[in-house]
Structure 1
Amino acid sequence: MGAHDLQFRKAFSDPNMFKVACEIYLPEDIKKKLNFSTLKFRQMSGAFIRNLIILQYNIDPDKDAKLFEQLKEEISDIVYSCETYDDAEVLLIAHSEHQSTPDKHYPLRNALYDISALKDFVETEKPGKYPLVVSFLAYHGKPSPYPYPTDIIENFEHQELAQEYFLKPILIDYRQSADEELLDHGEISGLEIALKHTFDEQVDDNVIKNLMHGLQKCTKIELRRDWWMYALRSWETSADTMIKEYKETLNEEEIFVMTAAQQLVERGELKGKQDIARNLFAMNLSVEQIAKATGLDLDSLLNLRKEIDNNTQH
């Protein structure tokens, strides 16, 4: 640890010293809300320290275990919590920047530090709402004044859009959209319908048909196969109907459909091997192929085919 790091950490690990800095440097609108008698130094979790070291020193803890253990004792970030007068909480974080050449991208690292500290607090304290996180960046390098913006938004090309959308994900809630609306989404509609109905208590035949229409819109055969297999495994519906509709609507190769059925049987995800066998018989697969796909023995399949033939004749 350098001399400056040591002095920084020794000083601001003392709550009274940190309080003095807060009273000097915090903006008034924050400072007037804080009850400094509740200020306390936080012991951060191992996960937070690990993340901080990775971000600050760019090392792999698994490959550089010895250096990682050394750095655990040398990190200079200081984290405090302090209650507000309206019974909320604030995290106060002091970072030190001692580089002679300031880092233009420091706001990005700062955001990662702050989010790591917030995550650590939430996992430890399990609050109903998140505390405000406020950071200090202590700098005593050259040049001065500090030459780069500390607001991460100022580093974006489209600042207005960044202000509106950065760290504010655009929600896609498939279950709030009707299948008909999802079917208007072209190439991805098959995936969206497959995901939408994953947790339905029961998927009816109309939904299965909607899935097939959505899959037809996908021009990537590997993807539509994957999406159909996903629905086949996860939906609460007739696997027999799923296989039949897929074969008829998508005109897929019989070998793929047979292999899919075989995989599901092997994973214990299908009940009623005979239902699958009946469907495969309807596709004119041989008894040997169906035995391979379902795991049913030849005698059982011959009896089943005889039963199917008798029912057809009647």
Structure 2
Amino acid sequence: MESGSFIEDDLRTQCSDMLYSVQTKTGKGYIYTLIEHQSRPEKLMAWRLMRYSMEAMQRHLEQDNETLPVVIPLLFYHSTTSPYPYSTQWLDCFADPELAESVYTQAFPLVDITAIPDDEILMHRRVALLELVNELACLLEQWAVPKEQFRGLMYYILERGNTSNAEQFLQGIATKTTDYREDVMTITEQLEAKGEQRGIEKGILLGRQEGEHSASLNIARQLFANGVERTLVKMSTGLSDDELASLDD
């Protein structure tokens, strides 16, 4: 029997669980048992059992195993209602079991970006940006979104969406939503100011680096004037051989 429990704290007075490890032909497996102290039918019990089983699988992986184990869920149920009134097939917990079965019993779709040419990816991005602008414009026309929420939504899309065409996106919104045009212009101005500030900070950094380099050159000149060997000058200033050679010219 394995140690630990997967039951939520607020349910521990109502049920208990045990996880047994067994050896199979292909490796280690488990039997997960859930015992209801005050048994009552639960419509989504199959999903609870599946969720606990997946947590057991995750624990198995965390023990440096490279493949998932088979975990057999087993419910001990005793109540006046018999037989059990709900399905024990976890896919039946979905509103559309047939759709869920088609999704979760076959390979997941994969989009291999590395196999798509760059120009095609760029085209998809442009189309996606246009679709996003159109959809947002339609939603804003249908619902009167408060100005603060609108600005928050715009900032979220620009920051979390990691869009490289922020200006184009905002221009599209401003064109299609007259009620929020002033807010869009305010956001645009704030982004421009933020970009200018970043440019200033970058300029300060470059200026500082250039100043440090100039100081290193002056120190090297003084060291050479005092007869210090080139090797020691190089170690002291961090200048390259080419930079030191330029001082000899």
The code of the aligned residue for 2:18 comes to I
1:108-119 alignment, distance < 5 Å: 108-119=47-58
The code of the aligned residue for 2:48 comes to R
Larger radius of gyration between Structure 1 and Structure 2? 2
1:259-286: CA deviations, max 9, x gaps?
03535876xxxxxx24xxxxxxxxxxxx
1:90 aligns with 2:17: no
Superposition RMSD in Å: 4.1
Aligned residues: 174
Partner of 1:142: 80
Partner of 1:259: 194
Q: Tell whether the 8 Å contact from 2:7 to 2:16 is kept in structure 1 after alignment.
A: no
The code of the aligned residue for 2:7 comes to L
Partner of 1:80: 20
Task: Quote how far apart the aligned CAs of 1:101 are.
Answer: 3.0
1:189-223: CA deviations, max 9, x gaps?
36xxxxxxxxxxxxxxxxxxxxxx86566426546
**Residues 149, 260 of structure 1: alpha-carbon distance in 2 compared, 3 angstrom cutoff:** same
Task: Extract unaligned runs of 5+ from structure 1.
Answer: 1-40, 58-70, 191-212, 233-244, 267-272, 275-290, 301-314
**Residues 216, 153 of structure 1: alpha-carbon distance in 2 compared, 3 angstrom cutoff:** closer
**Residues 77, 296 of structure 1: alpha-carbon distance in 2 compared, 3 angstrom cutoff:** same
1:11-34: CA deviations, max 9, x gaps?
xxxxxxxxxxxxxxxxxxxxxxxx
Q: Tell whether the 8 Å contact from 1:107 to 1:150 is kept in structure 2 after alignment.
A: yes
Partner of 2:237: none
Residues in 2 aligned to 1:123 and 1:117: alpha-carbon distance in whole angstroms: 10
Task: Quote how far apart the aligned CAs of 1:254 are.
Answer: 5.2
**Residues 176, 226 of structure 1: alpha-carbon distance in 2 compared, 3 angstrom cutoff:** farther
1:105-156: CA deviations, max 9, x gaps?
11111111111111112112x2121111101111121211212111111233
**Residues 144, 218 of structure 1: alpha-carbon distance in 2 compared, 3 angstrom cutoff:** closer
- TM-score of the superposed pair, with normalisation by structure 1: 0.44
Partner of 2:3: 43
**Residues 145, 98 of structure 1: alpha-carbon distance in 2 compared, 3 angstrom cutoff:** farther
1:194-205 alignment, distance < 5 Å: none
Q: Tell whether the 8 Å contact from 2:53 to 2:71 is kept in structure 1 after alignment.
A: yes
Partner of 1:196: none
The code of the aligned residue for 1:140 comes to H
> Could you tell me the percent identity over the aligned residues?
24
Task: Quote how far apart the aligned CAs of 1:75 are.
Answer: 6.0
Identify the match of residue 158 of structure 2 among 219, 225, 237.
225
1:222-258: CA deviations, max 9, x gaps?
4663368x477xxxxxxxxxxxx87699778454133
Partner of 2:59: 120
Q: Tell whether the 8 Å contact from 1:77 to 1:94 is kept in structure 2 after alignment.
A: yes
Partner of 1:197: none
Task: Quote how far apart the aligned CAs of 1:296 are.
Answer: 7.2
Q: Tell whether the 8 Å contact from 2:22 to 2:29 is kept in structure 1 after alignment.
A: yes
Residues in 1 aligned to 2:167 and 2:18: alpha-carbon distance in whole angstroms: 62
Task: Quote how far apart the aligned CAs of 1:295 are.
Answer: 10
Residues in 2 aligned to 1:75 and 1:265: alpha-carbon distance in whole angstroms: 63
